[in-house]
Amino acid sequence: MSSGAEPATGGGAVPGGRPPGAGSAPGGLASSSPLLGRAAEPTIFEMSVPGRSAWSLRTTGLPEWELEELVPLEHRRRSATGLPEVSERDLVAHFTRLSQRQYSVDTGAYPLGSCTMKYNPKLFDHLAALPGFADAHPASPTAALQGFLALLVRLEEMLCEITGMAAATLQPPAGAAGELTGLLMMRAWHGRDAGDGRGRVRRRVLIPDSAHGTNPASVSLAGYEATTVASDSRGLLDVASLREHLDDDVAGIMLTNPNTLGLFEEDIVEIASAVHDAGALLYYDGANLNPVLGVARPGDMGFDIVHLNLHKTFATPHGGGGPGAGPVAVTAELAPYLPAPRPVRTGEGGRYGYGFAGSEASIGRAHSWHGNALVLQRALAYIMFNGGDGLRRVAEAAVLNASWLSRRLRASYDIPYGRPSMHEFVASAASLKRSCGLSATDVAKALLERGFHAPTVHFPLIVDEALMIEPTETESPQTLDALARAFEDVAREALSDGAASARSAPRSTPVGRVDETRAARRLVLTVDQRPGTTSGAPGGRAAGGG
Amino acid sequence: MGSYVPHTDAEIGQMLSFLGMGSTEELFSMVPDAVRLARPLRLPAGQSEPDVRHDMEGLSRADLASRGLVCFAGAGAYDHEIAAVTPALSGRSEFLTAYTPYQAEVSQGVLQALFEFQTMVARLSGMEVANASLYDGASATVEAANLACAVTGRQGLWVSDGVHPHWRAVLGTMAQGPGRAIGRAPLRGGVTDWAGLGGAGSAGAPAALIVAYPNFLGCLDDLGSARKLADDLGALLVVVFDPVAAAITTSPGEAGADVAVAEGQGISARLSYGGPYLGLFATKMAHVRRSPGRIVGETLDVSGTTSYVTTLRAREQDIRRERASSNVCTNQTLLAVAAAVQLSWLGPGGLRQMALASARGARYARESLLRIDGVTSPVSAPVLKEAPFRLPAEPEVVIERLLEDGYLAGVAVREGFEGEEAEGCLLVAVTEKRTRDEIDGFVAAFEKALR
């Protein structure tokens, strides 16, 4: 609460901190929460005690120049940093307890549609920590980085073989970043030669109504207008209606194949030729690449630009929301536009086997350095472990699991598009909602109560009360059966109690249903914004504004 | 060979027969023959776990980093101490293998850690609010520019040459879509000279001024004149800060920044060949609804228990679609959790000591290097943990020679690191991990390399 405090203090007297007892110093809230149940975990700031610390740093033997001798007065920080002051033991206890309030793939099945929450092998965590990788400075001279460069070049070649493309950039750090990178290449290609030397940037990009939200957002950021194309009654893109949208102002179309309904775009060959005839390009959103590994390749389907989500298909852990990696692979014609610099094999006579190359037509850099290198490294290890046969087995088991679960759940839930689906399928709670009031959200929360993560709900937007289910290939038949029983139990119970139990679920999780409306209406985005907190955040001018 | 697919052949057979199928090939009946891959993928055969490990360890040994180079390279990626607790806690399975916290009731661990992270970033930067992370410093800078353009309705950006050259390059790449014009302000003596502005974006009032503090050459730039110029132009001020240096230098909030962005690698991750790193993004509450990425808010559950949830969701791409101002979905949450742990381990005293010890080592190294014949400084502005040196030799040659002695000597300001003022210089960074003995050994090797 003392905004003018000494920089070395500040974490302790955090507004909102509760003393453990009358007369105690503020902060220092000790906690040993019950393992399960509804006890709240205090924030780290409430555990803070002025003067307590965990840190230790190297003894350097250097002259102990004071701050005043190192930083001129006008450049010195005037306010406290407000970081918490805790012991290492309390720090470890706090974050360990937080981790126990978190569901994960390592905890159990995670059938979140379009997210491909497969098992993340421990081998790759081990490999990512090897000092030759984890301690490599990104601006090291190429002479010092031959191992890493070899790894990146090898990964690029393998991703090209898997997708049927000619060249790839590994720079984009996530799928959405890959989308924007790919669309900027589309833009550059049209602007420069468009295949016939008569370049003209086009204005529109077509997107099916079943697409991920990142697609239209990326289209806007690339300077295009998004035009939505409706799916037909099959849940697929209809060639005839696509043709109506195609004209010489359409730059391209973004497709996910199989699409977000889990359905393969069966007319893809006709779609590709119609798009190419119009002078436009096909962009492949790789979110759903898992079920076609070794089965079919985007390049053979006619796609020109392909992004991959290594944190989905190639088993790199999602980290609670990232990091990911979103490499973009392209045809030979588009290769000159790839972001630079690119890791390459150097020619005969070079001193080293690997180096970097640029291209005059490149759209430029897409990342501070070389992409999320340690994510890329894990993906390469995954491909090495599986080999071509293993990847095909991944696709088979992913489709087998989803198909089995879809067939099993047909008796309890609507499956609106009856065609055979691939790695995921979309069920609907619409009938159950009409008959007993059970919504998709209720199904999700009732599954949490039964110890499973929920599917993706209310997406894709074209299905009412959508439940998008992707079991992935790493769940055993026994786990699938247990998951199916949980789904069936939710529906059965709702029909018997008018969904009362589901609507009050979950009850056994660390917290019950969370009030999202309150969160948005009374914004508390930091500890300092809690109601009753004065504006004296240790950050100085923060609360008072600039 | 090994597989992470658990099914036995018998189970596959039973599941296929439940589906009325005779073979796995039938699972793919919807894929037209014309696009079916008629051959196996041309990839090396699958390898066992120990074989993969053996090959990867071989690749890792080809990198000199595996031999323990003493690091004096910085340029936006710093060899700061990462506590043992940081990977131990952030690497716990529950954080490592969770997806985005869509289901709040089973995601309180990640959500609360992000809420604590947001508080730390807001306090450290002196801003009112921070988001739950972006990809890296470059992407945070791009998003700050997007926010400024949305707020002001303008398309021009004035960017100091003190902003990391790679980040400026990314900004240029991402400007191609909306057609943004970028004006470039050179450095003079290590400080931005806004009067020397050039380039396409220099005409007309900009949406934002973007300045780095400390800047790419390690200098403490003049934020006061940048703020005044921004006020005169009706533009936003975006300050690129360093989360370690900020413990002892003016915070972006104290300097009146509208948006503060940073590369958070130094407080979350080992050097990792440049990724995954951590983009920090903080701003004023007035701009929170135009902010990119996920933001966690505190609320209550049905029984009144304090809970956390992602909020202001209507900003995001999955709801706003083509009208969203950012396409960010996957971000760097795991690194944000790591930063929350690392900053808690350091506390105010540890972060301050880290910044001070880095500045002490840098000053000691700087004084020693400048005593070598022919080594001079191209800048006059105050520096902290990093500084450029003009050498009587090509910096690339010096770097290569020092590699043989076990030192990563720095980064050559050239080829993608262009900045007219320090072109051809060597950028040397010193963190709190460097001891006097290491610096003395480095300086001796340096002198020998120049002979």
Residue in B53, B345, B408 nearest the CB of A137: B408
Cβ <8 Å between B97 and A120:
yes
Partners of residue A513 in chain B, C-beta under 8 Å = 105, 301-302
Residue A205's φ and ψ, nearest 5 degrees, are -130, 135
Interface test with A, best of B23, B327, B396 (most A CBs within 10 A): B327
> CB neighbours of A470 closer than 8 A, spacing ≥ 6?
A111, A112, A113, A114, A115, A116, A117, A262, A402, A423, A424, A455, A456
Among A229-238, A513-522, B65-74, name the one with the lowest average pLDDT.
Answer: B65-74
Interface contact A374-B272, CB threshold 8 A:
yes
Q: Is B23 on the interface with A (CB under 8 A)?
A: no
**Which chain B residue shows the shortest CA-CA distance from A154?**
B43
Per-residue confidence in pLDDT tens, chain B, 451 aa? 789 999 999 999 999 999 999 999 999 999 999 999 999 999 999 999 999 999 999 999 887 777 789 999 999 999 999 999 999 999 999 999 999 999 999 999 999 999 999 999 999 999 999 999 999 999 999 999 999 999 999 999 999 999 999 999 999 999 999 999 999 999 999 999 999 998 877 788 999 999 999 999 999 999 999 999 999 999 999 999 999 999 999 999 999 999 999 999 999 999 999 999 999 999 999 999 999 999 999 999 999 999 999 999 888 888 888 888 899 999 999 999 999 999 999 999 999 999 999 999 999 999 999 999 999 999 999 999 999 999 999 999 999 999 999 999 999 998 655 556 788 999 999 999 999 999 999 999 999 999 8
Identify whether the C-beta of residue B226 lies closer than 8 Å to the C-beta of residue B178.
no
Cβ partners under 8 Å of residue B21, min gap 6:
B27
Tokens standing for B48? 């066992």
Could you tell me what percent of chain A has a pLDDT over 90? 84
Is A221 close to B110, i.e. CB distance below 8 A? no
CA distance B376 to chain A (A): 20
Q: Using CA of residue B311, residue B315, residue B317, residue B320, what is the dihedral sign?
A: positive
Q: In the predicted model, what is the mean pLDDT of residues A286-308?
A: 98
The owner of tokens 């309890």 is A412
Please state, in angstroms and rounded to a whole number, the distance separating the CA atoms of residues A136 and B408.
10
Taking the C-alpha atoms of residue B411 and residue A454, their distance in angstroms, rounded to an integer, is: 48
pLDDT of residue B203: 80
Note whether A266 and A238 are within 8 A (CB).
no
Indicate whether A497 pLDDT > 70.
yes
Of A241, A299, A296, A302, the closest CA to residue A277 belongs to: A302
B145 exposed, middle or buried (CB, 10 Å; 0-12, 13-18, 19+)?
A: buried
Q: Contact B177/A375 with Cβ under 8 angstroms?
A: no
Residues in Cβ contact with A449 at an 8 Å cutoff, skipping those fewer than 6 apart: A505, A506, A507, A508, A509
Rg (CA), chain A: 27
Angle at alpha carbon of residue A90, lines to A84 and A94, rounded to 5°: 85
First to last CA, chain A: 19
Q: Which two tokens stand for residue B71?
A: 């690091």
Contacting residues of A for B320, CB less than 8 Å apart: 213, 217
Q: Is B76's Cβ below 8 Å from some Cβ in A?
A: yes
> B91 touching A, CB under 8 A?
yes
Nearest CB to B170 within list A300, A366, A383: A366
Q: Is B405 on the interface with A (CB under 8 A)?
A: no
Partner residue facing B306 (CB), from A40, A148, A375: A40
At A4 the pLDDT is 36
Q: Report pLDDT for A22.
A: 37
Per-residue confidence band for A348, with pLDDT thresholds at 50, 70 and 90: low
Q: List CB contacts (< 8 A) between B252 and chain A.
A: none
Contact (Cβ atoms closer than 8 angstroms) between residue A127 and residue A381: yes
| Selected residue of B25, B33, B63 to mutate for chain A interface (largest A Cβ count, 10 A) | B63
Assess contact for A177 and A339: CB atoms under 8 A.
Answer: no
Pairing of strands B411-412, B426-429: antiparallel
* pLDDT value, residue B416: 57
Interchain CB distance below 8 Å, A474 and B71: no
Nearest-CA distance B223 → chain A (Å) = 9
* B401 shares contact with chain A (CB less than 8 Å): no
Residues 181-210 of B with CB under 8 A from A: none
Do A82 and B120 lie within an 8 Å CB cutoff? Answer: yes
Estimate to the nearest angstrom the gap between the alpha carbon of B374 and the chain centroid.
Answer: 34
Helix (H, G, I), strand (E, B) or coil at B237: strand
> What was the pLDDT predicted at A26?
55
Residue matched to tokens 């980040």: B167
Is B341 within 8 Å of chain A by CB? yes
Residues of B in contact with A188 (CB under 8 A): 176
Hey, is the C-beta of B179 within 8 angstroms of any chain A C-beta?
Answer: yes
Residue A20 has pLDDT above 70, yes or no: no
pLDDT at A2: 37
What are the distances in angstroms from CA A285 to CA A512, B178, B248? Answer: 35, 22, 45
Q: Extract the tokens encoding B436.
A: 């006097």
What tens digit of pLDDT does each residue of A190-228 get? 998 776 767 888 999 999 998 988 999 999 999 999 999
Q: What radius of gyration, in Å, describes the C-alpha atoms of chain B?
A: 25
**How far is the C-alpha of B40 from the C-alpha of A387, rounded, in Å?**
10
A310 to chain B, closest Cα gap in Å: 12
Cross-strand pairs, A343:
A356
Residue A505: burial class (beta carbons within 10 Å; 0-12, 13-18, 19+): buried
Residue B50 forms contact with A (CB below 8 Å)? no
Which tokens sit at A168? 């790839």
Is the Cβ pair A62, B176 closer than 8 Å? no
Tokens standing for B202?
Answer: 């220099």
Average pLDDT, chain A: 90
Mutation target among A59, A77, A290, A456 for the B interface, most CBs of B within 10 A: A77
B85 to A123: CB separation less than 8 angstroms, yes or no? no
- Any CB–CB contact under 8 A between B394 and chain A? no
| C-alpha separations of B170 from A172, A188, A480, B139, B440 in Å | 11, 15, 44, 8, 37
Backbone angles phi, psi at A508, to 5 degrees: -100, 0
Confidence of residue A426 (pLDDT cuts 50, 70, 90): very high
Residues counted in chain A: 546
How many A-B residue pairs are in contact by the CB < 8 A criterion?
779
CA distance A444 to A384: 36
Query: Which 3-state string (H, E, C) describes B192-212?
Result: ECHHHCECHHHCCCCCEEEEE
> Which residue from A277, A274, A345, A268 is spatially nearest to A299, judged by alpha carbons?
A268
pLDDT category at A534 given cuts 50, 70, 90 is: low
AA identity, residue B40: P
B66–chain A nearest CA distance, Å: 4
From B41, B69, B44, B68, select the one nearest B55 (Cα to Cα). Answer: B44
Beta strand pairing call for A167-169 and A328-330: antiparallel
Residue among B114, B245, B49 nearest A525 (CA): B114
The C-alpha torsion from B420 through B422 and B427 to B432, rounded to 10°, is -110
Mean pLDDT confidence for A414-442: 96
Question: Given A84, A96, A539, which is nearest B126 (Cβ)?
Answer: A539
Q: Residue A393's beta-bridge partner residues?
A: none
Task: Calculate the CA A34 to chain-centre distance.
Answer: 31
Distance CA B410, CA B398 (A): 9
Closest C-alpha among A223, A372, A99 to residue B134: A372
- With CA atoms as reference, report the closest residue to A512 among B296, B311, B105, B308: B105
Judged by CB atoms closer than 8 Å, whether chains meet at B56 and A130 is answered as yes
Average pLDDT over residues A49-58: 97
| pLDDT at res. A17 | 40
Is the CB of B272 less than 8 angstroms away from the CB of A134? Answer: yes
Q: Name the minimum distance, in Å, from the CA of A350 to any CA of chain B.
A: 16
Residues 6+ apart with CB under 8 A from A97: A31, A33, A41
Residue B391 Cα, gap to closest chain A Cα (Å): 18
Which of B67, B90, B93, B99 to probe by mutation at the A interface, max A CB count within 10 Å?
B99
Q: Hey, what are A223's tokens?
A: 């300077």
CA B294, A260, B96: angle at the middle one, nearest 5? 45
Which stretches of B34-84 are DSSP H helices?
A: 49-61
Q: For residue B126, which residues of chain A lie inside 8 Å, CB to CB?
A: 79, 539-542
> Rounded to a whole number, what is the distance in Å from the CA of A431 to chain B's nearest CA?
23
Structure tokens belonging to residue A53: 């610390």
List the one residue out of B183, B242, B194 whose CA is nearest residue B216: B242
Which pLDDT band holds residue A16 (cuts at 50, 70, 90)? very low
Encoded amino acid at A272, one letter:
A
Residue of B62, B301, B337 lying closest to A147 (CB–CB): B62
CA angle B135, B278, B254 (to 5 degrees): 110
B129-130 and B191-192 beta bridge pairing: unpaired
B26–chain A Cβ distance below 8 A for any pair: no
| Tokens coding B30 | 């919807």
The number of angstroms, rounded, from the C-alpha of B377 to the middle of its chain's C-alpha atoms is 27
Query: Which of A49, A57, A338, A474 is the mutation pick for testing B, counting most B CBs within 10 A?
Result: A57
Enumerate the residues of chain B whose CB falls inside 8 A of the CB of residue A108.
none
H helix runs in B306-387, sequence order: 317-320, 333-370
> Quick one: closest CA in B to A362, which residue?
B173
Produce one character per residue of B73-87: b if its CB has 16 or more CB atoms within 10 Å, e if not: bbbbbbbbbbbebbb
Which uninterrupted H or E stretch holds B405?
none
Q: Which residue has the tokens 């690497």?
A: B91
In the block, residue with structure tokens 């000597």: B409
Residues of B in contact with A67 (CB under 8 A): 248, 356
Q: Is the pLDDT of residue A1 over 90?
A: no
Indicate whether A170 pLDDT > 80: yes
Nearest-angstrom CA–CA distance, B34 and A241:
22
B324 contacts A387? CB cut-off 8 A: no
Predicted model pTM:
0.95
Evaluated on CA atoms A168, A174, A177, A179, the torsion sign reads positive
- Contact: A135, B12; criterion CB under 8 Å: no
- Predicted pLDDT of residue A543: 31
- Number of Cβ atoms within 10 Å of the Cβ of A354: 21
